[in-house]
Each structure stands twice: as structure tokens, then as C-alpha cells.
Amino acid sequence: MRKSIVIYSLIALSLLSMSTSVATMAEGTEMQIGPNGTGQWYPAIHEDRIVWTDTRNETFDIYMYNISSEEEVQITSTPFIQMTPDIYRDIIVWEDNRNGDWDIYMYDLSSGEEKQVTVHPADQRVPAINEDRVVWSDMRNGNMDIYMYNITSGEETQITINEADQWYPGISGDIIVWEDARNGSSSVYMYNISSGDESKLTQNESEQYLPTIDDDRVVWTDYRNFNQDIYMYNLSTGEEIQVTTNESWQVGPAISGNRIVWMDDRNQDGDMPGNWDIYMQDLSTGEELQVSSNVSNQVYPAVYGDRIVWTDMRNEEAAIYMFELVTQDMTEK
């Protein structure tokens, strides 16, 4: 379940689409995470822990919030930049420029130990983690390749060797997905760690980008309909599904189990820029629901089980918010 990434200036793009649509509001409880709402970006969530990039100390630090204990913890405190975190159980990973280049670092919540994962002087960016494997985009070969680190064995592996750029990886179990430029436009590729097989996941020649994966389902943002839609591919069945059909833009998806979440600008008011909302589709029912409705921007969603988190601009400063869905089946987490 990987995060949506910073690189695309998606908020500015909201001027490009003006469609509106009324959707059913999701049922549940919304809350702001933590007492400080100043400059919190790019959340990720796993189980009952949320991590994000935080600028309250006039630098970029990694913070964590434990939903069960309601405790907020500062993970990094250097004067350098730590950002785009991801989390799986007790392990937090992020990109870090304390050494004059971008490296991948990790922190073990159970032991309190911080470790530098990459030491090559080129840049390593945007990590994702699942189980005991960390993946990232790496510039050591003069282009962006996907690399992987096994926490248990300490082994680092180069996953892609194509001379085009591969970036924004996601991982679930034995499958790594990423955005790939080898065909002249961005496509989604995947790699099976067990078999060593690499394959192109999307066959349409339009732009597909920002993929993420959970179990056997891959979701991404797709431009084939001349607007941004969310698509999904089921690895078990080989079936590709168009998740969103609204003529406005839907971007930056995340997935957990049967739930896909994304940023959606269908409620933009006339010529006013902004008003990205968070939407969700429940794959088990086929129902599309609106999660956030505030007229400011809600961006960069992440999801785990019944909980959806995002960066929210309603108080003029970016803060982390969470929505906990009301569901009858609480075993889905």
C-alpha cells in the first residue's frame, strides 16, 4: 500500500477539468491526526500506525502517530531532509539527504534502531516496503532503475536493467510494480521476485503512472480517455478494470483489500482552483463513495483496512486527517 508521490503538481492541474458529480458520502468518523497541523505531507498507514513528512521544525522530519495509544512520535531529528516515508509493521523507510545525496534509511520501532540502507553516492529515492523487502528508484547507473533490499538477509538486488527510466515502485509479496519509460510513454511494469520474470502490465499506449499494489491487485492513474482515470489489474484473473468514469480527474490511487482511494477534482466550483476531494470505491460492492467534502484540498491519500488518511489544507496549513469507515465486517483489516 504505497503512498502517492510528491513529484506531480496535481493541485495546480485542477484548473484543467470542471466536471461535477454528486456521490454518496461514506459513513464514518473523520479526525485530525495529532495536535500540530503545520506542514504535514505524504502520509502512509499500516495497521494502527501513520507516518508522514513534517515541517513543523523548519526542516523535513518523519513523524509517526499510533492510533491505538494516541501517541505521536518524532522519528528523525536531523537538520536535513527526510521525506516520502512508508511503513510496514515495525519498520519505517524514507528518503534522506543527510549525506549530500539521497539515500534510503529505515527505523525499527521495536528496537529503536535507525539504519542506512543505501550507501552508493548516487541518488536513491521514493522507497516502498512490504514484509522484509524495501524497493526504491536508483540513479547509480545514469538512469533510474528499481533496486530492492532484503532486510532479513541484508542483500541488495538490482531489479531493472533497461536503460530507460523506471521509478515510483510499489511492492506486495513477491510482486514489484513501477512506472517505466522504455516505450516512449509511461507504462506500468511488474517483476516477480520468485520467478525472475519481468512483464509489461498495461498494454494501452497512453500514459499510465503512479502504480501501487496490494496482494494481487495493481492500481494506477491512466490517461487513455484524455482525462485522468483510475484503472486496476487483477493478477490472478488477468482482468483489467476501469475503476473511475467521471470526466474530471482522478489521480494518485492507493489500495488495501477491496478498497481503492484516490484524489478527485469533480467538485471544483467554477473557475476556482482547488477542491481536490478523497473518493473511494469498494470492490466488493462496486459502490463509489465520497470520503472528504471540505471545500479546500484533500490530497495524497493512503488506506489500510477501514482507515483512510490524507493531507488536508482546510486550515491553510497542511495537516494529516483520517477517516474511519463504519462497516459491519470488522474482520477485513
* CATH number of the CATH domain containing 164: 2.120.10.30
Q: Is 263 contained in some domain?
A: yes
Q: How many CB atoms lie within 10 A of CB 193?
A: 17
| Count of domains observed in the chain | 1
Residue 198 CB coordination number (10 Å)? 16
- The span from the CA of 53 to the CA of 40, in Å, is 6
Q: Is residue 59 part of a domain?
A: yes
Question: Which run of H or E residues covers position 307?
Answer: strand 307-312
Alpha helices in 118-261, H assignment, sequence order:
none
- Determine contact, residues 160/143, Cβ cutoff 8 Å: no
- Considering just the CA atoms, what is the radius of gyration of the chain in Å? 19
Pairing type for strands 319-325 and 307-312 reads antiparallel
Exposure string over 117-142, b if 16+ CB within 10 A, otherwise e: bbeeeebbbbbbbbeebbbbbbbeee
User: Could you tell me the pTM of the whole model?
Assistant: 0.92
Question: pLDDT tens track of the chain, all 333 residues?
Answer: 444 444 334 433 333 333 344 579 999 999 999 777 779 999 999 999 999 999 999 999 999 999 999 999 999 999 999 999 999 999 999 999 999 999 999 999 999 999 999 999 999 999 999 999 999 999 999 999 999 999 999 999 999 999 999 999 999 999 999 999 999 999 999 999 999 999 999 989 999 999 999 999 999 999 999 999 999 999 999 999 999 999 999 999 999 999 999 999 999 876 555 789 999 999 999 999 999 999 999 999 999 999 999 999 998 889 999 999 997 554 444
Q: How far apart are the first and last CA of the chain?
A: 13
Domain that holds residue 101: 12-325
Q: Is residue 6 part of a domain?
A: no
Structural domain contains residue 4: no
SS3 content of the chain, % helix, strand, coil (to 5): 0, 50, 50
Cβ proximity of 63 and 51 under 8 Å = yes
Residue 113 lies in a domain: yes
* 330 within a domain of the structure (yes/no): no
Q: Looking at the domain assignment, is residue 245 inside a domain?
A: yes
C-beta of residue 22 within 8 angstroms of C-beta of residue 267: no
Q: Is 223 a member of any domain?
A: yes
